[in-house]
Amino acid sequence: MKGLYFIIIPLLIAFGVHKFYVSVTQVEYYAPEEAIQITSRVFIDDLEKALLERYDVQTFLATSKEVKETDGIVERYLMAKFVVRINGSKVEYKYLGKKTDSDLMILFLEIPGISLDKLKSIEIQNELLMDVFEEQKNILHFKIGDRKKSYVLIRESNKGMLNF
């Protein structure tokens, strides 16, 4: 029985040390406002590390010490790493803010004034955290009208598209 512990404990420690680098982004069409709404969920510590490495600012996300410039820094990072194209053209989105849920940061974006009947394609290029974590995977879910599609994005393939 003691021998079994020498095998199991190192295995449990090895699995406990390994960290998964993943984010999940949901892209949906909200008909009452004719807007595309985007929510992206990232691990707080991963986002904090990316902001520190990219902008040399310790943000103290989701703590009482969070710096007041954090929203601007997060928005700047998003604009650099998250691109939306509609019908082949890059579009600007609004960063609406963020909230925390346990160890996750949920980021809210919106593209207003999009008529569903004029939508031919939407493409998302999501490089969030890929500049910091080589193993980063960004899961992308589209749900627009009756169309649904999902992607797992990696450094070498960081775009997902939904055609109509």
Q: Is residue 103 part of a domain?
A: yes
The reported pLDDT for the residue numbered 6 is 47
Q: Is residue 146 part of a domain?
A: yes
Q: E strands within 8-154?
A: 22-30, 35-43, 82-86, 89-91, 94-101, 104-112, 121-126, 137-144, 147-153
The reported pLDDT for the residue numbered 12 is 46
Report how many domains make up the chain. Answer: 1
Q: Which long-range contacts (CB under 8 A, 24 or more apart) does 114-117 make?
A: 114/29, 114/34, 114/35, 114/36, 114/86, 115/34, 116/29, 116/31, 116/34, 116/144, 116/145
The reported pLDDT for the residue numbered 145 is 87
Q: Is residue 1 part of a domain?
A: no
* pLDDT mean by block of 10 residues, the chain; 164 residues: 48 53 96 96 96 95 93 97 97 97 95 93 97 96 94 97 92
Q: Is residue 11 part of a domain?
A: no
Q: Is residue 14 part of a domain?
A: no
Q: Is residue 13 part of a domain?
A: no
Structural domain span for residue 139: 19-163
Q: Is residue 9 part of a domain?
A: no
Q: Is residue 4 part of a domain?
A: no
The Cα–Cα gap between 56 and 11 comes to 36
**pTM for the complete prediction?**
0.86
